[in-house]
Amino acid sequence: MSTRKISLSALLFLVVYVVQEAFVTQLHIGGGGFSLFLIFALLWAALSTPDIGALTGFVAGFLIDLSQSTNGAVGQWTFVLILVGFGISYLGLGYENVRMNPFTITLLVTGSVVVARVLYVLLTLLLGEEVGSFISIITSLFIGALWSAAIVPILMPLVARAYDFIDDSRHRL
- The minimum distance between CB 164 and another protein, in angstroms, equals 21
- In the list 3, 27, 103, 154, the residue contacting another protein (rule: CB under 8 A) is 27
Closer residue to another protein, CB minimum distance, 14 or 165: 14
Q: Does 33 bind another protein (CB under 8 A)?
A: yes
Site for another protein in 68-107 (CB under 8 A): 68-79, 82-83, 86, 89-91, 93-95
Options 40, 144, 155, 160; binder of another protein; rule CB under 8 A:
144
- DSSP state, 48? S
Is the CB of residue 46 less than 8 Å from the CB of residue 102? no
Instruction: Report the 10 Å Cβ neighbour count for 46.
Output: 28
32 Cβ contact list (under 8 Å, min separation 6): 140, 143, 144
Q: What is d(CA 82, CA 103) in angstroms, rounded to the nearest whole number?
A: 24
3-class state of residue 104 by DSSP: helix
Does 51 sit near another protein (CB under 8 A)?
A: yes
How many other C-beta atoms lie within 10 A of the C-beta of residue 26? 8
Residues forming the site for another protein (CB under 8 A): 18, 21-23, 25-35, 38, 49-51, 54-55, 57-58, 61-62, 64-79, 82-83, 86, 89-91, 93-95, 117, 120-121, 124, 127, 129-133, 136-137, 140, 144, 147
